[in-house]
Structure 1
Amino acid sequence: MITITVFQKIGVGLSGFGMFFVLFEILLYFENVFLCYQILFLSGLAFIIGLRRTAHFFFQRQKLRSSAFFLGGVALVLLRWPLIGMLVETYGFVLLFKSFFPMAFGFLATALNIPFLTFTMLNKLSGSSSSMV
């Protein structure tokens, strides 16, 4: 069984609050009060996997372009350009984490048992070739 440290629990909480504030900011039509979500998400990521591994993840040679888009979007949002910043940040986020999406969809296929969500659709999204129905 995997043990979770206190710092990782704090990181999950910070990342969760960051994601909540993203949705809340969108609901409030990009109000400038809730622009702290990027800082919460990045600090939560640093707490979960560690500061050195976070820096290594963002500054790998093959991920420099996507990191520039993501961190540039964060800077644009903090400079009070929330709509453009979130679009740039979303593009960078998709480029950064595109290798994790098949694993996440595979996890959803095995963990969720939702009647209207078929496993074949999740298996296609996850990239697996098994024909479980």
Structure 2
Amino acid sequence: MISITEWQKIGVGITGFGAFFILLGVLLYFDSVLLAFGNLLFLTGLTLIIGLRKTFSFFFQRHKFKGTSFFLGGVVVVLLRWPLLGMFLETYGFFSLFRGFFPVAFGFLVNAFNIPFLSELYRRFQGSSSMV
């Protein structure tokens, strides 16, 4: 079993609140205060989960420098109260940073239909294609 420290538990909560505030900021027409608060919480929570050294080594690798600069530049632009431009920059940086993770995630989603509970749920929703 994987042991999780108290700091990592706090980091998961802070990251969740950060994602919530980012979602709320987008839903409220790119409210710059909510987006800035969400970005700061998200980055703080990520640092608490994986540690300061691993966070720096992840973001500042040579082949990820372009994604890091766009992502962190987007955070700075949101903090300067240009939320729409900042979120576009962050989104491009996010996809550039996590480019190697997406095939793993899509592979998991394809194999998720082999999990007993999810496969039964998928079969139930697959049969109900009627809109009425």
Q: TM-score, normalised by structure 1?
A: 0.81
Task: Answer whether contact 2:18 2:39 (CA < 8 A) is retained.
Answer: yes
Equivalenced residue count is 117
Is the CA contact 2:21–2:38 (under 8 Å) kept in the aligned structure 1? yes
Q: Which amino acid aligns with 1:102?
A: P
The alignment partner of 2:30 has SS state of coil
Gaps of 5+ in 2: 127-132
Deviation at 1:104, TM superposition (A): 2.2
Query: 1:6 aligns to what?
Result: 6
* TM-score (ref. length: structure 2): 0.82
Segments of 5+ residues of structure 1 without an aligned counterpart are 118-133
| Aligned-residue CA RMSD (Å) | 1.6
Is contact 2:32–2:82 with CA below 8 Å preserved after alignment? no
Partner of 2:104: 103
Task: Write the distance in 2 (CA, Å) between the matches of 1:8 and 1:103.
Answer: 23
- The structure that is helix-richer by fraction is 2
Partner of 1:125: none
Tell me if 1:20 matches 2:45. no
Structure number, greater radius of gyration: 2
SS state of the match for residue 36, structure 1?
Answer: helix
Percent of pairs with identical residues: 59
